[in-house]
Amino acid sequence: MVRDLRHHDVEPAPLPGGGRPAAPVTVTRMRGRHLDGVLAIERKVYPRPWSPSLLRSELRQRGTRRYLVALDGRLPGRRRVVGYAGLLVQVGEAHVTTVAVHPAEHRRKIASRLLVRLLSQAIAMAADSATLEVRTTNPGAVRLYERFGFVSAGVRPGYYAETGEDALVMWAHGLLGEDFAARLAGVEAELDLPGGSSGAADLAVPWVRGRVGLGGSSVEDEE
């Protein structure tokens, strides 16, 4: 079953002077040892966070699911979860199920890094199309997905039950073709350049705590 896709606001506009450094962040497969860090982000950025049992169930379905985490390696010997993403693949179509970044770690292109790897996984699973839902009130995320070739295909009214917000349905096609491979390579080549990529201003989200640019930047969650 595909649950509501929850895209936390990703990749706000670069800070004056070039933004925060993009690296060092590595992306790897989500494992059980990462769940404490993932759940800590869930509680910060979503009004209705996923439960530990739900996440463990998703990780067990390896034939159709892929879940990734972004790990921060700035502190020697300590690799902290700063973001994560997942997808479901069925009958040649990928459905991005979640993308989230720690509120204090925006402007490091973490969402872009996750999406590059996630869509590469979709291609490896023979998905030629990908879809996702995103809040119509989240222009930064929309612009980010457009960079990956997603285009609007319609609106689902009241899709997000916790807020009553509408969802924009987006699709990307031709994932197995040369044009999409070139697009993905182009995005990947820009990952280590400074600054965020969406060009969207920060938006106040009532349930998000500790977001950069909105009154907090403390980092509390560990892997």
- What's the start-to-end Cα distance of the chain, in Å? 28
Q: What's the confidence (pLDDT) of residue 206?
A: 46
Is residue 1 a contact partner of residue 55, using CB atoms and an 8 Å limit? no
Length of the chain: 223
What is the pLDDT confidence band of residue 74, given thresholds at 50, 70 and 90?
Answer: confident
pLDDT at site 77: 63
Q: What angle do CA 34, 222, 192 make, to 5 degrees?
A: 85
More confident residue, 24 or 199: 24
Of the listed ranges 53-57, 76-80, 110-114, 124-128, the least confidently predicted one is 76-80
CA 67 to chain centre: 11
Please compute, for residue 96, the number of CA atoms within 13 A of its CA located in the half-sphere on the CB side. 31
Query: Would you say 200 and 11 are in contact if contact means Cβ atoms under 8 Å apart?
Result: yes
For CA atoms 208, 200, 88, 73, give the dihedral sign. Answer: negative
Given a cut of 50, whether residue 58 has pLDDT beyond it is yes
Question: How do residues 82-114 score in pLDDT, each as one tens digit?
Answer: 999 999 999 999 999 999 999 988 888 999 999
pLDDT band at 128 (very low <50, low <70, confident <90, very high): very high
Fold adopted by 6-13+20-189: Aminopeptidase (3.40.630)
* 130-150 confidence digits (pLDDT tens): 999 999 999 989 999 999 999
Q: Share the mean pLDDT of the chain.
A: 81
